[in-house]
Structure 1
Amino acid sequence: MITTNKGKVWGLLCLAIGVSLIGVGCNGNSDGPAAKQAGSEPGAEASAEGGERLEGNVKIDGSSTVYPVSEAVAEEFRAVQPKIRVTVGVSGTGGGMKKFIAGEVDICDASRAMKEKEANACKEQGIEFIELSVAFDGLAVIVNPKNDWCDCLTVGQLKELWRPESGVKQWKDLDPKWPAKDIKLYGPGTDSGTFDYFTEAIVGESKASRADYTASEDDNVLVTGVSEDADALGYFGYAYYDENKDKLKLLAVDGGKGCVKPSLETVRNNSYEPLSRPLFIYVRKSALERPEVVAFVKFYMENAAALSKDVGYVPVSEEVQKKNMETLNGALSK
């Protein structure tokens, strides 16, 4: 089995998660028949049939949340296929989708499902794809460790804080018992799938948000901002909190059934509502005509579930792993 040094992986912004493939074209239809179950030894199918070394390029771009996953898999893949150059960029889910639709990348990392308008744009460009559900993540709402007055926020309070034209300026505006200190807000940029998911889950409408906050597609910028500002609040993927928990304070969220903090268990059992979410990658079917892309995607399938546990994501079930390979092989057989 492949082993990963967690500190090294995160030093490179690398984390990996389990992969669930649901084959769809731009019209959303599933692909065909079955083949092999995922979960075999890492690297078993890294090269083409016959075990030959391959050459070529695989281009990936998109979500900052999924980026460390794809980069970790790419790093391990380079060890078995050193002549295949895998590049992983970060431009947010929306930015990655634009590149995907334009045919600039083979794979799009996404922290939300593809939107209908994006699928329609794919169809107009003649692009078919397969959708890979890459485990589950929870969105973390975090504050500075010096914050000793707030341990939990209701969905209603979060909505009031983040809605467009919000009148909340200070902590006392959320609860009169809290101090009259200005809240400095940090969050993902508008091209981020995390932004889309949070605004839809909390505000009730995707992309509906106040604009007076510090935005970045790089979650590490948000971590730094909140950790250095005693009165700050922000949100991003749970895995980034988990890696930086020594300098951040995690808040619980009350979705109507009491205050619950995100964790592997609460994300797994769906008790952390409404901020548990699936993560995805999308692969162009035309890219699967190239052996280097096939080798990489198979390697992704075979190794992601094992790596996901090490970095704090909830892996998909064995049943879904089996479906992954059925879907991929169905796409390859056409």
Structure 2
Amino acid sequence: MNSLRVRALPGRLGQRERAFLVRVIWFVLGFVFALWCCYDMAARSAKRWDSREGEAFLFVAILSSHKTEHLRNAARQTWLKLAVASERRGAKGVPRKWVEKLLQEQRQFNDVVVIYEAADTYETLTSKLVYSLQWVVKHYYFDFLLKLDDDSFARVDAIADELAQWKQDHPGRELYWGYFAGNAPVFTSGKWAEQTWYLRDGYYLPYARGGGYVLSLGAARHVGTMGVIIFEQYSSEDVSVGVWTAPLRLERWHDRRFDTEYRSRGCFNSYLVTHKQTASMMYEMYRNLQQDRKPCQREARWRLSYEYNWSVPPVQCCVRNMTDATLRRPRTLRLRHSL
């Protein structure tokens, strides 16, 4: 598999080239005690960065399941060709024949890390996220982490360019980047039902939709370090990340180029992440990208989008009255890429 390398802008690792690494990750964390403990642990672990197994400017983490091998194969044959791919997947409670199949997949592609501590079910996505992020933070140094679902199509090259520019323009800042919602009602029934929600009457705290979002190193380490201590685990991993990062001083960047809701808003060449894609749709988008330098042969809008209004109460944040047809297409000109 080809390795896409990006010449990063000046940062902790200087001018050395950093490879894209892909892992499927899952994470959870704690609260008040976590804030103190996080800084203490961060100070101690900072001395051990040189012992990390690898380093990456952008670490791409993909949530997957033992049942979705066809999506992993589609990703390998399409947009993951831009990256060195490694995935992290839950295996607790998975039948032995499926575990053996995952291990066989690992031997074939060398891009799977099987995690035995978490069950491979939707109800345990948050805990799977925790174990995986802990593993990532322990083994790799990175500037930014992009979390994706395995049915998302991502322009990782363009995302890396955006992040390199953002880092140059915002030195020392932490980042939480995605498509935010502040008016999402709390589920009280069904598989997403929350049994222990006491933070806000009737609505979740603002969070980036789970089809894909970015955390900077400091935010990711905060989540990963405190993941198994005392933070409440909620049914949805994206809601959990929004809660856990709420007290942090970071840049919350709402970007309509993240089509990451539970339903896709359409096909636009401006999108950096497109959620709810089938394997055949990934192949088609990648083929269009290779032939015409744009993933959508014809752009189409299925739903309106919104700009997040941070100056009003969260319940008033998100008036869905915009089309994404006017968004600028991503460019990959700021950094030099070598295959």
Using structure 1 for the length normalisation, give the TM-score.
0.26
Rg larger for: 1
Q: With CA pairs under 8 Å and 6+ residues apart, which has the higher RCO, 1 or 2?
A: 1
